[in-house]
Structure 1
Amino acid sequence: MSEPGRPRWPGSGAANSADEAWLTAIAQAAAGDSQAPLELLVEYLTLLADAAISGRRPREHELAIVRELGRRAAEQGIPAGRVVDLYLSAAWRMWRDLPDVVPYRDRDTVRASAQAVLRAVGEAIAVLVDSYQLATQQLVRQEEALRRELVDDLLRGDPDVARMVERAEPFGLDLGRPHQVVLARPADGLPEGDTSATMLELFILDRFGDREVLVATKEGLLVVLIPATAPSTAPRTIDKSVGDLIHDALIRHRPGRVWRVAAGRAYPGSYGIARSYEEAREALTLADRLRLDTAVVDARDMLVYRVLIRDQAAIVDLIQAVLGPLTQARGGADPLLQTLEAYFATGEVATEAARRLNVSVRTVTYRLDKVKALTGHDPGDPAQRFTLHIAVLGARLLDWPARDLPSGAEAHA
């Protein structure tokens, strides 16, 4: 049998409809102020009222219900601050109204009641917040796992297009729009728990005003999936390419860290995403093999190198025919190849090539003359320069002369 004047929450076996109305009014007012669901106060008001009247501490089953409410609030996406505000608002409202419901006889009784209420509020909120945070962490891990699986399947080109469209929808992706893939790789590797992906996603959303963005990690790379066109409500006015913007953001995030960024071209559909990814990945590989000193590479700029590497048999023949005689030089072919590379990269300016190689201009001109004498191709002649340049690019792609050139069926593979 309940104690006279003891408040109860509706549905908990309450004895007095007036008490039920009182608690309901407190819950509705607190929920209205905090803009949080009324249901999150179930059991909490009862344990507060009991603490105020009898001084008892919350029971385990009551805290278990509060713990479940914290989990539910996290799953509903209600901000943690709003939930805590709901509980504090209900507490002070109850404390304000208690003297009208249960008359206190003396100061010691009031003091003991206040201590009991504060203790109950502290225990309940501690359980609530702990449960909320745990549930939030689990939701984040689940979302990250789903995101990683989606990105993996998109980059692989999963043949189940209908299923891919359905899975992409919760992430705000419209696979009917053209998308491009941008890859970023740090020179020192991507450690576990690195915050660059989170920073990059926030940067892109802020920069472009477009929710249709995915950033994930894959095999030591940051993978950025971004629409090629912005919504009409958020037009883009960009002076730099997406690759340059991403590289700048990464450098600002952690100064001193060296990144290489590669951007694939934009294509529509889920298969287009896989195609853009392959282009970006191949651009990274080619930039490494060519020893390019640029931090940002675009798949469009690498098309000529893709042509070279895909006709490997022809490029092997070209290297053997044009550059093979360089192996007869004192010191081997590599110093002469380095000189040719620097000479072509600086627009056939010997002084700039010498500065890049850290040698004298006389050394550069001597080596160029040596190339002409051994190969019969003059680097200064426009027609012959083109042949030499293509052969040098092919040599770097195949890492010659550090590695032997492929032969026979291997060259045609």
Structure 2
Amino acid sequence: MKNDQTPECTSLFADVATTGRRLTRDEVERRRETGEKAAREGLALRELIGDHLTVVPAAWPEQSLTRRSTLDLLTAAEQSVDALSAGFERAQRLAVRQEGAERREFIDDLLYGRSDLGRTAERAEGFGLRLSQAHTVAVARGPQAYTEADLVPQHVERALIGRFGGRHVLLTTKSGRMVCIAPGDQPQVLAHFAQQAFAAIGEGQAAIGRP
């Protein structure tokens, strides 16, 4: 990513330093596309921006810049970073929506048994579950319906990950309820899910099934 973008960005910022112009619409869109590509490839946003900003000093002309030219260059760098971040976040939102849809489809297959068992087991591994062992399902509901994009399920999921790490746990939503699936020999995971869900909801119900 860095090697692909460095020559173009160096030339771009050098031109800005000389002319004082702003980035064009096409240049901004290319920065957004770069941010999206970085997110899809798993590059951290901090690393992406850090690599990007290293070319700013290289664009500085040998002669001293005026205050106006310095501000123009810094403004262009800010434009570029904003576009990179916007593209990165756009790709992340799309990934979250896609993952949420895949989770819901998997939960339907798992709970209703409508898919081939081999395919279900294969997909389960992608979500960190091993169907060769017993699992337990917990469900929580509140005064309103929830989706994966809502703050309450996200808060509960962060609490689970913060305490238990990966540990083969899947949290999603189904029919407006939060659903958590965990190995049957780890009741403390679902107990923590129920506690966190009840605290985040404020009022509602939580139930834990049997392995």
Instruction: Give how far 1:72 is off.
Output: 0.5
Provide closer, same or farther for how the CA distance between residues 94 and 46 of structure 1 changes in structure 2, counting only shifts above 3 A: closer
Instruction: Calculate percent identity across the aligned residue pairs.
Output: 32
Rounded to whole Å, the distance in 2 between the matches of 1:246 and 1:113 is 55
2:150 and 2:69 mapped to 1: Cα distance?
49
> Aligned-pair distance for 1:71?
0.8
Residues 12-43 of structure 1: per-residue CA shift (max 9 Å, x gap): xxxxxxxxxxxxxxxxxxxxxxxx74334452
Q: Does the C-alpha gap of structure 1 residues 179 and 136 become closer, same or farther in structure 2, counting only changes over 3 Å?
A: same
Alignment of 1:245 with 2:185, yes or no, is no
Whether the 8 Å CA contact 1:43–1:65 is kept in 2: the answer is: no
CA distance in 2, matches of 1:243, 1:114: 56
- 1:69 is aligned to 34
For the structure 1 residues 47 and 215, does the alpha-carbon distance in structure 2 shift closer, same or farther, using more than 3 Å as the test? same
Aligned to 1:258: 204
Q: Deviations over 1:218-272 (max 9, x none)?
A: 1232211111236xxxxxxx7xx655433322233244x132x222222xxxxxx
Equivalent residues of 1:43, 1:66 under 8 A apart: no
Structure 1 residue 205: Cα displacement: 2.7
Specify which of 29, 49, 53 is matched with residue 84 of structure 1. Answer: 49
Relative to structure 1, the CA distance from residue 155 to residue 37 in structure 2 (aligned partners, 3 Å threshold; closer, same or farther) is farther
CA displacement 1:304-324 (0-9 Å, x = unmatched) = xxxxxxxxxxxxxxxxxxxxx
2:83 alignment partner in structure 1: 127
* Aligned partners of 1:213 and 1:226 also within 8 Å: yes
Please give the alpha-carbon distance, in whole angstroms, between the structure 2 residues aligned to 1:71 and 1:55. 27
CA contact (8 A) 1:43 1:62 kept: no
Aligned partner (choices 96, 103, 107) of residue 151 of structure 1:
107
TM-score by length of 1: 0.46
The answer as to whether partners of 2:138 and 2:194 remain within 8 angstroms in 1 is no
Aligned to 1:54: 19
Q: Deviations over 1:54-92 (max 9, x none)?
A: 333333433332221011012122222332222233324
Change (3 A) 1:180 1:70: same
- Contact 1:67-1:128 within 8 A present in 2 as well: yes
Q: Distance in 1 between matches of 2:14 and 2:121?
A: 51
* Secondary structure at the counterpart of residue 180 of structure 1: strand
Distance 1:138 1:57 in 2: 29
- 2:54 aligns to what SS in structure 1? helix
Q: CA deviation at 1:194?
A: 4.0
Determine if contact 2:2/2:52 at 8 Å carries over to the other structure: no
Which ranges in structure 2 are unaligned for 5 or more consecutive residues? none
Which runs of structure 2 are paired with 1:155-234 in the superposition (5 Å)? 155-186=111-142, 188-191=143-146, 194-229=150-185
1:145, distance to aligned residue in structure 2 (A): 0.9
How much does 1:214 deviate? 1.1
| Structure 2 contact 137–181 (Cα < 8 Å) conserved | yes
Q: Is the 8 A contact 2:190 2:208 kept in 1?
A: yes
Off by >6 Å, runs of 4+ in structure 1? none
Name which of structure 1's ranges 165-174 and 151-160 shifts more when overlaid on structure 2. Answer: 165-174
Question: Does the residue aligned with 1:181 lie in a helix, a strand or coil?
Answer: strand
Q: Determine the C-alpha separation between the residues in 2 that align with 1:219 and 1:168.
A: 20
In structure 2, relative to structure 1, the CA distance for the partners of 1:209 and 1:62 (3 Å cut) is closer
Is residue 63 of structure 2 the alignment partner of residue 117 of structure 1? Answer: no
Structure 2 CA distance for partners of 1:245 and 1:63, relative to 1, 3 Å? closer
Structure with greater Cα Rg: 1
Change (3 A) 1:73 1:265: same
Matching residue's letter, 2:90: L
RCO greater where, 1 or 2, for CA within 8 Å and sep 6 or more?
2
| Counterpart in the other structure of 1:275 | none
Structure 1 gap segments, 5+ residues each: 1-35, 231-237, 267-413
> For residues 60 and 191 of structure 1, do their structure 2 counterparts lie closer, same or farther at Cα, with a shift above 3 Å needed?
closer
Contact 1:44/1:62 (8 A) holds in 2: no
Q: TM-score under structure 2 normalisation?
A: 0.84
**1:45 partner amino acid:** T
Secondary structure (helix, strand or coil) at the match of 1:43 reads: helix
Q: What corresponds to 1:349 in structure 2? A: none
SS of 1:250's equivalent in the other structure is: helix
